A and B are shown apart, each in its own frame.
Chain A
Amino acid sequence: EVQLVESGGGLVQPGGSLRLSCAASGSTFSDYWMTWVRQTPGKGLEWVANIKRDGSEKHYVDSVNGRFTISRDNSKNSLYLQMNSLRAEDTALYYCTRDVTHYGPGGSYFDAFDLWGQGTMVTVSS
């Protein structure tokens, strides 16, 4: 069965650090871009960061740029999110997602998140 399993969440004080992991199984991990998405309690979804198949390209939402680092280890089928200088507003459920690319006419392509983990909760509080 193809699945993503996140781990590493927990309670951390403001200014602290945490490293999230996402273990992928059942598919060729290195074939896909991967993304972290978070959801604040009772609120909506926020795209956080993504990383190219070989790790050579990364993108971040402004609110985490410079504090969070996304990385991957294709030999271990794993995705990571190093979170530093954590703030109360980073409190959320963090999902790991697989990006599937669909190709259309004329060289067009479309990305979508076709596989999600169950999420790992991060709470930033003193």
Chain B
Amino acid sequence: AIQMTQSPSSLSASVGDRISITCRASQGIRNDLGWYQQKPGKAPKLLIYAASSLQNGVPSRFSGSGSGTDFTLTISSLQPEDFATYYCLQDYSYPRTFGQGTKLEIK
């Protein structure tokens, strides 16, 4: 199975900051990667698919980049509602695999 490694595992930031989260695949996955946001007690929400395509309704401050093995989720200007846990997911091969998550906390 392809392993997905996210970094950092946790991150403290302030409203208005620009932050980036990275996800590395154990082998090349083209751009078959999505990013999900999960808030406590809620189901995950799709933010980005195909590494860089923004899901309908997701604010444009979210962006994704990368291809092959290295991917990045960037939030350009953090809003209070963005503090959550973020997961990457590869859909290149079976079994699908998630990263371990990055918890974004308020500084």
Contacts and interface: CB of A to CB of B under 8 A. Distances in A.
Interface string B74-107: 0000000000000101010011111111000000
Contacts of B94: 59
A116 interface: yes
A62 B1 contact: yes
B91 A62 contact: no
Contacts of A110: 31-32, 34, 49-50, 53, 91
Nearest to B98: A45
A46 B98 contact: yes
- Report the 7 A-B pairs with minimum CB-CB distance, sorted nearest first: A116-B43, A112-B49, A47-B96, A110-B50, A61-B95, A111-B91, A45-B98
A12 to B, nearest CB: 23
Nearest to B85: A44
A117 B97 CA distance: 19
B100 A44 contact: yes
B55 interface: yes
29 contacts: A35-B96, A37-B44, A44-B87, A44-B98, A44-B99, A44-B100, A44-B101, A45-B36, A45-B38, A45-B44, A45-B89, A47-B89, A47-B95, A47-B96, A47-B97, A47-B98, A60-B95, A61-B1, A61-B95, A95-B44, A102-B49, A102-B53, A110-B31, A110-B50, A111-B49, A112-B91, A113-B36, A113-B46, A118-B43
Interface of B: 1, 31-32, 34, 36, 38, 43-46, 49-50, 53, 55, 87, 89, 91, 94-101
A17 B46 CA distance: 31
Given A44-B100, A47-B96, A112 B46 contact: yes
Interface string A99-114: 0001010000011111
Given A44-B87, A47-B89, A102 B95 contact: no
